[in-house]
Amino acid sequence: MNSNPLTKPLILSVYLLLAASVTPALAAEMKMNVVVLYADDWRHDSLGVAGNPVVKTPHIDQLASSGIRFTENCVTTSICGVSRANLYTGQWMSRHGNRGFGMWQTPWEDTYLGQLKANGYYLGHVGKWHNGNIPQDKFDFAVAYHGRHWYQTKEYGRIHVTKRNEKDALKFLQNRPKDQPFYLTVSFFATHAEDSHKDQFLPQPESMELYKDVSIPVPPNATQESWERLPDFFDEKNEGRNRWHWRFDDQAKYQRMMKNYYRLASEVDSTCGVVLEELKQQGVLDNTLVIFTTDNGYYHGEHGLADKWYPHQESIRVPLIIVDPRMTSDQKGTTNDEFTLSVDLAPTILATAGIEAPKQMQGRNIGDLYLAAAGEKSAPWRTEFFYEHPTLRNKDFIPASEALVRKDWKYMFWPEDNVEQLFDLKNDPQEENDLASDPAQAKRLAEMRTRFNELKEAAK
């Protein structure tokens, strides 16, 4: 051991010198900022980078080339309000208790928003909230609105909701204090339909030339036969079928609706580009965790349905792109096919900020998948998950649904009618052939039923 009496004073002097050189602005830079670009009603393949042959999303595609795109990312409940509660709490619906569009029951301080605020982050939210009234006093900057594509505002005049998202996001970024790390959710309403409007999807006029001469491919399982394969309790009173009639029940309508849907997506992409450019111009992009994801998937007519809610792949798989400055160069532009979930983003964000996740959070830190040191293996990741969705209004309108999801097989359960379904996703990715009554699958059905009940209990 070094017994030199000058050692301790020297170490202390060096420490004090270093500490004195850390200005408030530098301290803020040392804590990573976080921006979540949170779109609405986008399924996993509504991106150019995901192989969609029609939609143009150049800025989000570029984002993917700077980070990792998770190709098997899913939500644990496929509906706007509950999915947002899952995001902020890092919990399944069964635990946080929001079964619709009200506020979750989890204490605010146990959400990642509360944790960031308590640890010195300047906290912002722009756009759709959909968990009751947004608690303005919990944020440093919060403007919440959704439900329409066009607004008449005092500040901006008549403005499209996506352009309003953009202006509000820039206001936050340009006026934030420069001596604090910051967090911002840009929560888009697009591509959600304006349900009360006959045209449903209402893009900005300058977007109308997009996709004008394109024919949108109709999915192979967007057929009457596929609709008739659904369980018998699916009938014309079902809201998914009702909205299918609003949007997709003839060829001309399908083309018109889908083109406008994709125009809304391209508008969101453009605003994402503006936000990212602002971060770059401010010199903070290289110290900002950027996440692009969405609240739920979306039927484009598959199974004779529209919207979301049910456990089919079209409804539960959503995009996830993460750009983390700590990634190595060889990770940028890659994909990862592990099962990441909406509940994983809360602990991921907190870990990025150096904050320990509350014990009540059920998700996992996705950073474990891409931050392992060379030669190290991350802990085994999940190979299955539990999906849940509540009854809305009554079972004729939107019935409850649950599932055990694996990459090769899926077990669905419809609790109100006690109906089981079993799908071989490897050989039947469009979920057309229900094998629950196949004697050859009896053993598999029993095993998955048992495991389903275990994971359902664990979600509480």
- 14-64 pLDDT, tens digit per residue, is 444 444 444 445 545 579 999 999 999 999 999 999 999 999 999 999 999
Give the residues across from 173 on adjacent strands: none
Q: In the numeric block, which tokens belong to residue 228?
A: 């008739």
Q: Looking at the predicted structure, is the pLDDT value of residue 5 above 80? A: no
pLDDT bracket for residue 2 (50, 70, 90): very low
Q: Is the pLDDT of residue 8 over 70?
A: no
pLDDT, greater one: 6 or 379: 379
Indicate the domain borders of the chain.
25-377
Residue, of 131 and 373, whose pLDDT is higher: 131
pTM of the predicted structure, to 2 decimals: 0.93
Provide the pLDDT confidence category of residue 318 given band limits of 50, 70 and 90. very high
pLDDT value, residue 14: 42
| Integer Cα distance of 112 and 290 in angstroms | 15
Please name which of 316, 291, 288 lies closest in space to residue 302, comparing C-alpha atoms: 316
What is the distance between the alpha carbons of residues 443 and 426, in angstroms, rounded to a whole number?
18
Express each pLDDT in 188-216 by its tens digit. Answer: 999 999 999 999 999 999 999 999 999 99
For residue 151, the cross-strand partners are 159
State the pLDDT at residue 375: 62
Starting from the edge strand earliest in sequence, which strands make up the sheet with 419-424, in order? 384-389, 401-406, 409-414, 419-424
Q: Where are the beta strands (DSSP E) in 71-134?
A: 122-127
Closest to 74 measured CA to CA, from 371, 250, 267, 308: 308
Confidence of residue 373 (pLDDT cuts 50, 70, 90): low
Give the mean model confidence (pLDDT) for residues 122-129.
Answer: 98
Strand partners, 422: 411
pLDDT (0 to 100) of residue 448: 98
Question: DSSP state, 184?
Answer: E
User: Mean pLDDT, to the nearest integer, of 341-360?
Assistant: 98
How many residues in total does the chain contain?
460
C-alpha distance from residue 324 to each of 25, 260, 371, 429 (Å): 20, 32, 9, 32
pLDDT value of residue 183: 98
| Predicted confidence (pLDDT) at residue 268 exceeds the cutoff of 80 | yes
Considering only CA atoms, which of 247, 294, 217 is closest in space to residue 53? 217
**Which CATH superfamily hosts domain 25-377?**
Alkaline Phosphatase, subunit A (3.40.720.10)
Task: Give the mean pLDDT of the chain.
Answer: 94
Residue 219 near residue 302 (C-beta atoms within 8 A): yes
Q: pLDDT band at residue 379, thresholds of 50, 70 and 90?
A: confident
| pLDDT on residue 7 | 45
**Are β-strands 334-336 and 419-424 bridged in parallel, bridged antiparallel, or unpaired?**
unpaired
Rounded mean pLDDT of 456-460? 98
| Confidence band of 1 (pLDDT split at 50, 70, 90) | very low
pLDDT score of 24: 46
